[in-house]
């Protein structure tokens, strides 16, 4: 009796470890694999033609909520009741999309993570491989993503032209361009430095011109433009459609502005700051500038006393002289930077200016 009981227990133990096949006409508890060094849920799912969600569902007790697997773990890679040799995709499962790495020229796009999304689900929806998606975003197989987060996707072919959609305070930007590294400027928050092609081109060109004019000058510090797809961007009210840019002031004494800290009017280098602002204005694309009142006053005084601007020009430029019709208006907290907004690009049919905005000219 005891020998029979021990034999039965041993048989159950071996079957649980997936070491013996099921009886001829009985389904077993599903096909299993042993996790090896270098394995991840995504690689196992791809290898056995199942989804990460399936693996998680079939192995809840082992994987757990943190989606962690360890070398030596035995994972079920098929639904309970299938044969141990049935590692092919279930017949009812939709065919996987092509997941080859794009060949030839590519461009960076971004998609928004939806509620309930996983890396595997996004990869299938976008027709890319999990491995590529992880690599493009600098993520590991254990990384968590959240709804609303942006995920980078490399698209094949030539990038479409950018488009500013809607208003600066209620809009988006399509196929935005990143303000990458260049002469004469540095970025405070690179992940927030996206705008339309025209906006980015003006920012780069004018920073280079000031850099070339003033040998050895400190870089201008560019702050927030828009997010890759635009839209709401707290704490900003605007910066939504790829046409706004926060621009740190050049500081007196050629001190590098590294953080956009609050500055007094006496700390600004008005010669360089005006050279940059004038470059923007000469493009005929500026529709609004925000600047602290005290800095406005000091800049206007500097331009007037040095003969760089007539009283009529100063009145058109600065609210402190010309009132509400002037281009440069006061806004709270703009003693850390000036804010410049550019016009819609020609042919950008979905772009909308505010009623009071029109491109400023040097007439």
Contact 230, 176 (CB under 8 A): yes
Its CATH architecture, for the domain 106-156, is Roll (3.10)
Number of residues in the chain: 363
- Distance between CA 273 and CA 276 in Å, rounded? 5
- Distance between CA 247 and CA 88 in Å, rounded? 57
pTM exceeding 0.75: no
The mean of the pLDDT values for the chain is 84
Among 2-6, 30-34, 38-42, 78-82, which is the least confidently predicted range? 2-6
Tell the residue number behind the tokens 């809607």, with chain if given: 166
Its CATH architecture, for the domain 31-80, is Roll (3.10)
- Is pLDDT of 221 > 90? yes
CATH number of 163-342: 3.30.1380.10
Give me the residue spans of the domains in the chain.
31-80, 106-156, 163-342
- Is pLDDT of 187 > 90? yes
More confident position, 66 or 290: 290
Same fold, 31-80 and 106-156: yes
Instruction: Tell me the DSSP string of 135-180.
Output: HHTT--TT----TT-EEEEEEESPPPPPEEEEETTEEEEES-EE--
What share of the chain in percent tops pLDDT 70?
Answer: 83
Instruction: Tell me the DSSP string of 243-283.
Output: -EEEEEPPBGGG----S-----GGGB-HHHHHHHHHHHHHT
Backbone angles phi, psi at 205, to 5 degrees: -65, -45
């Amino acid at each position: 009796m005891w020998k029979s009981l021990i034999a039965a227990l041993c048989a159950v133990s071996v079957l649980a470890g997936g070491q013996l096949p099921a009886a001829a006409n009985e389904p077993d508890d599903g096909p299993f694999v042993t996790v090896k060094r270098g394995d991840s849920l995504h690689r196992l799912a791809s290898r056995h033609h199942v989804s990460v969600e399936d693996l998680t569902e079939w192995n809840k007790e082992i994987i757990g909520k943190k989606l962690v697997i360890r070398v030596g773990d035995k994972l079920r890679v098929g639904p309970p009741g299938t044969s141990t040799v049935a590692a092919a995709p279930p017949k009812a499962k939709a065919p996987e999309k092509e997941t080859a790495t794009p060949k030839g020229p590519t461009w960076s796009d971004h998609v928004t993570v939806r509620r309930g999304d996983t890396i595997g689900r996004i990869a299938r929806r976008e027709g890319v491989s999990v491995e590529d998606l992880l690599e493009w975003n600098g993520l590991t197989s254990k990384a968590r993503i959240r709804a609303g987060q942006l995920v980078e996707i490399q698209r094949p072919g030539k990038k479409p032209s950018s488009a500013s959609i809607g208003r600066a305070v209620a809009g988006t930007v399509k196929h935005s361009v990143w303000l990458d590294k260049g002469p004469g400027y540095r970025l405070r928050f690179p992940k927030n430095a996206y705008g339309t092609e025209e906006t980015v081109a003006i920012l780069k060109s004018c920073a280079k011109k000031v850099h070339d004019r003033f040998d050895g000058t400190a870089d201008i510090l560019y702050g927030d433009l828009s997010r890759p797809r635009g839209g709401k961007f707290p704490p900003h009210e605007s910066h939504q459609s790829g046409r706004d840019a926060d621009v740190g002031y050049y500081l007196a004494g050629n001190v590098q502005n590294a953080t956009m800290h609050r500055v007094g009017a006496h700390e600004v280098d008005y010669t360089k700051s005006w050279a940059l602002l004038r470059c923007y204005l000469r493009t005929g694309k500026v529709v609004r500038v925000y600047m602290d009142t005290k800095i406005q006053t000091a800049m206007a005084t500097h331009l007037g006393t040095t003969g760089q601007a007539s009283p009529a020009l100063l009145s058109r430029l600065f609210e402190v002289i010309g009132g509400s019709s002037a281009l440069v208006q006061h806004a709270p907290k703009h003693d850390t930077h000036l804010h410049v907004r550019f016009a819609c690009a020609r042919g950008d049919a979905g772009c909308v200016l505010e009623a009071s905005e029109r491109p400023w000219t040097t007439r």
